[in-house]
Every structure is written in structure tokens, then in C-alpha cells.
């Protein structure tokens, strides 16, 4: 029996994270700045995304995604009831209406056939918000086909999904053309990569550039671009944005954490080890295409 209390999903924090955070504290720059820029760049390269924006939560990333796509009052968004509340809250925050459809019985992910039926019934649907539940990728190809046929955006809730793959493509990397696709990640304390609280939004560079303004009061320049030697104090308010930016202290932790994300080979070794213990472990539903879940929830 343990002598000390086992806390809720304790993160793996080492000297690398501590040193990186202390470096930011000693630098004198603790809000959004060079560490955020590096974290965004490293994360973008790691998953093969077109562009990335660090935010203070996955909820913020989903909210910004809907806002930057212009989804609002009178619009509807198809999603799943098998998710955390924030996936649906953000739809309501922008004034849109969530349309919840049923899930597949084996993965508990949103059912593409139900999505197609809902879109066919209701022309006011403007986007699809699939959730990769417990890190197992939803069946994206048929969802993207529906979106392409009806000119809908796809906003993926990938809170659990680093570093899952779908048909060889890492979640967050660009899908096939013809669909506007944004992907939101979580760095909450229980996730494979944690910054305590935090998130990332990936997608086309143009939308990510506009998302930066949505994430910081609609300002045309952030503090680092205003108050460093190379910057200019001048800025404009372009739109009614939010306060969702990630500070350097969190990004400093994320930079070190990114090196700890398991590779495919390491994940396979974990699954093999679990099978020696139980003989019955399944890495979520067994399907030939999605390389499953790998989120903390899946292998805890």
C-alpha cells in the first residue's frame, strides 16, 4: 500500500521543464513572447501542421475556431454527446445551435452516417465538430466527404489526441484539399503533453493569423511585437476578440514536454507490456486504419 496520497493523474515533470520555466522567469519576459513562438514552431513541425497558435486551453482553441470561421447566430454545428461539456459550450457561446448525433458502438466516436443524415436534413448546418474520444481518431474520411459535398468546415476536438494518427496522417496535419479544417489540442494536467493549462489550434496559415487577433482582444500586435527593440508600440483593434493567449511560462514547460511525447515504437512497447499483465488490453477499438489513441486516458 502507498504511504503517500496518489494525486489525480500526476504529470511527468523533470528538470528540463523546471529549467525551461526558470529561464523564462529570469529572462524578465513572462507573457506571450519568444517561448510561445518556439513552442508553436516546434509543435507545428512535430505534427506536420500548416500553422499553429498556442492558447490558454483547448476550449479557447475551439471557441476561436468557430469565431474565425464566422459561425454564429442562425447557424448549426453537428457534434457528439460523447464529449466534455466545453465542446458543446463553445457552439452556444458563438450563438449557434449544437446538433448532437449518435456515436459508433465500438469507438464511441461520432457516427459519419448520422452526420451525413443530419446535414441532409438541415441546410443551416455550417460545420462539423468531431471529437477523437479518448484519443481514438474518429472516422475522418467520410466526415470530410460530407463536409466537402456541402461546403462545411470541420473543427476537430483533439483534446485527447496527441500523437494519434489517422490513415498514417497525424491528427492536426492537413487533410485532403477542399475542406476548411481546424484542429484544437489540450495541454491540461492529465494530457500526454501538459502546460498545466493550455491548448493549441492548428490549421491554414491565413486562418491562424486571424485567430491570433481573435485570441488577444482583436489587437493587430501582441505585447512582444509592441515592446521589444524590434517592435512598434502602435496597434489597432480589428475585431471584438477574447483574452486567450498563452504566456511564455506555460510555453516554456510545453517545449520541454514535447520531447516526452511517446513515439509509435514506445507506444507499441507500452501496449505489449500491458498485454503481458492482463492478456486482454486493447488500444481502444481495434481497427486497421486509425492508429489509436495514445492519450493519457487511454493507457493510464
Catalytic residues: 191
Q: How far apart are CA 77 and CA 226, in angstroms?
A: 37
Backbone angles phi, psi at 94, to 5 degrees: -85, 5
**Do residues 35 and 19 make contact, with C-beta atoms less than 8 angstroms apart?**
no
Q: How far apart are CA 216 and CA 237, in angstroms?
A: 10
SS3 assignment for the chain: CCCCCCCCCCCCCCHHHHHHHHHHHHHCCCCCCHHHHHHHHHHHHHHCCCCEEEECCHHHHHHHHHHHCCCCCCCEEEECCCCCCHHHHHHHHCCCEEEECCECCCCCCECHHHHHHHHHHCCCEEEECCECHHHCCCCHHHHHHHHHHHCCEEEEECCCCCCCEECCEEECECCCCCCCEEEEEECCCCCCCCCCCCEEEECCHHHHHHHHHHCECCECCCHHHHHCCCCCCCCCECCCCCECECCHHHHHHHHHHHCCCCCHHHHHHHHHHHHHHHCCCCCCCCCCCEECCCCHHHHC
Amino acid at each position: 500500500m502507498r504511504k503517500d496520497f496518489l494525486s489525480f493523474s500526476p504529470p511527468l515533470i523533470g528538470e528540463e521543464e523546471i529549467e525551461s520555466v526558470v529561464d523564462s522567469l529570469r529572462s524578465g519576459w513572462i507573457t506571450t513572447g519568444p517561448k510561445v513562438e518556439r513552442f508553436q514552431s516546434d509543435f507545428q513541425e512535430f505534427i506536420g501542421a500548416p500553422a499553429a497558435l498556442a492558447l490558454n486551453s483547448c476550449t479557447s482553441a475551439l471557441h476561436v475556431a468557430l469565431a474565425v470561421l464566422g459561425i454564429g447566430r442562425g447557424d448549426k454545428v453537428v457534434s457528439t454527446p460523447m464529449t466534455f461539456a466545453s465542446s458543446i459550450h463553445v457552439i452556444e457561446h458563438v450563438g449557434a445551435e449544437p446538433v448532437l448525433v449518435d456515436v459508433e458502438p465500438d469507438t464511441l466516436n461520432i457516427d459519419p452516417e448520422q452526420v451525413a443524415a443530419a446535414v441532409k436534413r438541415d441546410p443551416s448546418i455550417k460545420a462539423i465538430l468531431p471529437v477523437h474520444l479518448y484519443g481514438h481518431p474518429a472516422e475522418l474520411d467520410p466526415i470530410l466527404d460530407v463536409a466537402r459535398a456541402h461546403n462545411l468546415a470541420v473543427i476537430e476536438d483533439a483534446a485527447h489526441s496527441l500523437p494519434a494518427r489517422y490513415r498514417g496522417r497525424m491528427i492536426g496535419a492537413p487533410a485532403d484539399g477542399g475542406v476548411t479544417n481546424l484542429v484544437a489540442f489540450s495541454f491540461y494536467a492529465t494530457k500526454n503533453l501538459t502546460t498545466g493549462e493550455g491548448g493549441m489550434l492548428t490549421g491554414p496559415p491565413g486562418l491562424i493569423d486571424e485567430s491570433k487577433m481573435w485570441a488577444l482582444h482583436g489587437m493587430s500586435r501582441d505585447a512582444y511585437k509592441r515592446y521589444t527593440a524590434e517592435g512598434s508600440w502602435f496597434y489597432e483593434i480589428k475585431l471584438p476578440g477574447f483574452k486567450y493567449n498563452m504566456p511564455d511560462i506555460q510555453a516554456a514547460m510545453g517545449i520541454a514536454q514535447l520531447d516526452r511525447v511517446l513515439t509509435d515504437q514506445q507506444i507499441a512497447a507500452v501496449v505489449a507490456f500491458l498485454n503481458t499483465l492482463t492478456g486482454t488490453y486493447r488500444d481502444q477499438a481495434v481497427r486497421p486504419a486509425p492508429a489509436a489513441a495514445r492519450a493519457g486516458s487511454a493507457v493510464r
